[in-house]
Amino acid sequence: MDSQPLNDQPNAQPSDKPSKLKSLLLSILSLLAILFITLTLQASWHNPQEQTKLDLLQTDLILQASQPSIMQDGANRNNVKSEIVQSLLSDRDSQNLYAQALASYQQVLNANNYLLENIQNSSTSPQLQKKLTSMSELRIRSGLLQVQTNDLQGAIATWQSIQELEQGNMSTYGMTAQILRGLWSEPQMLFPDAESQIRRTLDGWYRQVALARLYQAQQRNENLSELFQQAQIEQDAAINRLVIVNSIPLIGGSLGIMLWLGLTIQWLFFRKRSPFYLERQQQDEDTELLAWQVPWGLAKTWEVMVLWFTAFCLMTQLVIPLVLELLGISMRVSEDFTLQAWLVLIPYVLSVAPMLPILHLSLEKYQPLPTGWFQFKFLTPQWLLWGIGSYFAAVPLVLVVSLISQKFLQGQGGGNPLLPILIDSQNTLPKFLLWSTLAIAAPFFEEYLFRGFLLPSLTKALPVWGAIALSGFLFAVAHLNLADIIPLTVLGMVMGFVYWRSRNLLASMLLHCLWNSGSFLALIALGGK
């Protein structure tokens, strides 16, 4: 028997009209939330994108895989290896490889210069020291690239600037810069413990170049030969990592393009079978694809989202930092990757979990909810097809808009704060904890809120496509990173469409899990030691 939508039964709905005090409180919280989001996004504009930093890691891998010509002419290189390297470098002129790598480093350095000025003005000593160390490392590597582009004076000036940056307080990178200046000066100057210092502060291609120069200066031909053999081993590892990093977008993008071609053909010749065909929904009662029955108004939707975001901000900005400070945990974070991983997983869960009691209390008077809300259909296998298929469909879309976004923002806009932790942590347990955050906790909580509640609620006032677009945009904004807004909006819209058509939160959660897991795997390959 057909049931009349609750939207057409205003007398059956509990009143959403808030009291004056409640309205005033929500108005204040709304203004504070908008102000916080605006200021956070504005601040992220001046931060280098984590994606740009990841590009540096890929650049370093490419340098490693290309076999440094400073050490050998490469005539005896395996032909298969050469073909793999050339395929990975297909968009780069090998003669200009060093110049391109140097340009990438200079882009990140320029973005960091502005951020350094803000940190110096705020007098935040630990944050300032961390940024100084990061910039010193970038300048050391930039100097080695300048040497390869025959800009020897520029390289020496770059290394000299590290001492000026540190203002007389020579750090471990300052000592390395001094050693490198001596190695490339005329006449050369050799410092004690130069080899151990280079090994401690440099890795990959940069370590090989510096050690090769040191061994040549010390006439240690046997060590130079061993260094070349080690370089060949590291070249194999770099090629393997590059293959993994590039295969994810390459395979996913290729399958995604094929899927979109198939969907296009289906739309042109078999339109009634297309997932985008909507006319049949009006006649198919079993699909439950009519707009959700929403017994509350937009005021209640806004109330839930504002209360959740307020709780999220209180937990992340006040409660959790205060607890960590009182327990003395914050002082030990930088020394323990496992602790860092726990301090990603637990605070994340604590900051987003308040949405569950907020949703329960806010929607309690509407119980039982109409059919179709917060559905988990484990026994229907279609959610697996929707999740996997939509993942491949999303890859080319998000890749394209990510390139456009990165070009438009020119390396600015911040990035996901988990990325540097993912790169630095090398043990199994931290990796598992971080993966649990990205692939289990995030898909469950974020899909439950944004697709399970927000998307259907918006259909009260918007057509389904409008609700999908707006919920996707709000999903992106909630991540509080300017660089992520466009890509995450597109991804959020795909997840919204998948949930709308499947009416199963497991489908969008699977897509979310696959997306974050793919990114996680690429980061592990990119940053693995």
- pLDDT single digits (tens) 215-256: 999 888 888 888 888 888 888 888 888 888 888 888 888 898
d(CA 53, CA 340): 20
Position with higher pLDDT, 26 vs 51: 26
CA distances from 95 to 75, 429, 441, 486 (A): 16, 42, 46, 35
SS3 of 504, please? coil
Residue 353 reports pLDDT greater than 60 = yes
The reply to whether omega before 187 is within 30° of 0 (cis) is: yes
DSSP category for residue 68? -
pLDDT of residue 294: 87
442-500 tens-digit pLDDT = 999 999 999 999 999 999 888 889 999 999 999 999 988 888 889 999 999 999 999 99
Cβ burial of 179 (10 Å; 0-12, 13-18, 19+) is buried
Which residue is associated with the tokens 């020897």?
152
Question: Residue 40 has what pLDDT?
Answer: 84
Rounded to whole angstroms, how far apart are CA atoms 185 and 179?
10
User: Average pLDDT of 307-328?
Assistant: 87
Coil, strand or helix at 377: coil
Which residue has tokens 């081993």? 233
Q: Compute the distance between CA of residue 455 and CA of residue 372 in angstroms, rounded to an integer.
A: 12
Worst-scoring range by mean pLDDT, 7-11, 295-299, 401-405? 7-11
C-alpha span between 386 and 190 (Å, rounded) = 63
Of residues 330 and 351, the one with the higher pLDDT is: 351
pLDDT band at 279 (very low <50, low <70, confident <90, very high): low
Residue 258 CB coordination number (10 Å) = 12
What is the per-residue pLDDT across 121-164, written as a single tens digit (0 to 9) for each?
A: 544 555 566 677 778 888 999 999 999 888 899 999 999 888 77
Total residues belonging to the chain: 529
Q: Is the pLDDT of residue 75 over 50?
A: no
d(CA 111, CA 119): 13
Please determine, for residue 362, whether its predicted confidence score (pLDDT) is greater than 60. Answer: yes
Sequence letter at residue 39: L
Average model confidence (pLDDT) across the chain: 80
The answer to whether the predicted template modeling score (pTM) of the entire model surpasses 0.85 is no
Percent of the chain residues past pLDDT 70, beyond the cut: 77
Amino acid identity, position 425: S
Residue 503 clears pLDDT 60, i.e. is over it:
yes
Q: Which residues pair with 412 in a beta bridge?
A: 48
**Banded pLDDT at 7 (limits 50, 70, 90):** very low
Confidence of residue 423 (pLDDT cuts 50, 70, 90): low
On whether the CB atoms of residues 455 and 498 are closer than 8 A, the answer is: no
User: In angstroms, rounded to a whole number, what is the distance separating the alpha carbons of residues 6 and 460?
Assistant: 11
Percent of the chain whose predicted confidence (pLDDT) is above 90 = 28
pLDDT for residue 85 is more than 60:
no
